[in-house]
């Protein structure tokens, strides 16, 4: 079986297991999604959604973020952690939107990653979920599972993204990302992967190396 054939079986398995997988961040427009994704670094989506429920009522445009007193913005996003850096990224990013993009979130990877605080992960989240442009989002779940499955030996998120791109059909890039994240949360966790009941085990280098105890043996 080639690596591409293996990836095809994995994609089909994920499609069957998580047909409704979608982003859990709550947003109504590209700007809200971009802000929420910045806030999601080292923070749960649940906590981000709690914060943005109020935040998005207070700040509705890039101008609102750009003109806000930095200390006030920091306090508004404090519960998400790393609020000093996140506030600077949000404000710097929104200032660039006002100056160079007529206050609109751009729709290309090149323009997005040129904004302060925006890397390929955030850009792919925005492109895939706000604009419907396929992108592979490599978070900790996607990184861990891709390595365990043997789809790549890379550890750098950008290198993992580029390793996966030729293996996964482009139309599936966004859904594949959501499904891998869901799989990481439900079965393939970092510390306690449930390999014995995982439907991807036949295609998983890590899972096949996990030998279940024989009858009568202690686990």
Give the active site residues: 121, 139
Measured CA to CA, the distance from residue 17 to residue 92 in angstroms comes to 40
Measured CA to CA, the distance from residue 35 to residue 130 in angstroms comes to 12
Which secondary structure element, helix H or strand E, spans residue 46, and what is its range?
Answer: helix 45-58
**Angle formed at CA 42 by CA 41 and CA 48, multiple of 5 degrees:** 65
**Angle formed at CA 22 by CA 121 and CA 59, multiple of 5 degrees:** 65
Determine the angle formed by the axes of helices 173-186 and 140-149, rounding to 10 degrees.
90
Query: Could you give the residue ranges of the DSSP H alpha helices within 61-154?
Result: 62-67, 70-77, 83-100, 109-113, 120-130, 140-149
Per-residue tokens: 140: 């900790």
């Amino acid at each position: 079986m080639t690596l591409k054939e293996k990836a095809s079986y994995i994609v089909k398995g994920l499609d069957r297991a998580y047909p409704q997988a979608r982003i859990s961040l709550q947003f109504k427009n590209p700007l809200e999604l971009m802000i929420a994704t910045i806030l999601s670094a080292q923070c749960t989506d649940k906590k981000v959604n709690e914060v943005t429920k109020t935040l998005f009522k207070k700040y509705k445009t890039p101008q609102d973020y750009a003109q806000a007193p930095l200390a006030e913005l920091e306090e508004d996003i404090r519960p998400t952690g790393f609020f000093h850096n996140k506030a600077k990224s949000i404000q710097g990013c929104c200032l660039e939107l006002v100056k160079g993009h007529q206050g609109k979130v751009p729709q290309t990877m090149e323009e997005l990653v040129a904004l302060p605080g925006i890397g390929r992960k955030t850009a792919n989240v925005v492109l895939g979920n706000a604009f419907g442009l396929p992108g592979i989002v490599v978070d900790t779940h996607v990184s861990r599972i891709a390595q365990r499955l043997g789809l790549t030996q890379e550890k750098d998120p950008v290198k993992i993204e580029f390793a996966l791109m030729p293996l996964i059909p482009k139309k599936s890039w966004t859904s594949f990302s959501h499904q891998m994240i869901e799989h990481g949360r439900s079965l393939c966790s970092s510390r306690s992967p449930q390999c014995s009941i995982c439907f991807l085990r036949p295609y998983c280098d890590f899972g096949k190396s996990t030998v279940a105890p024989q009858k009568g043996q202690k686990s």
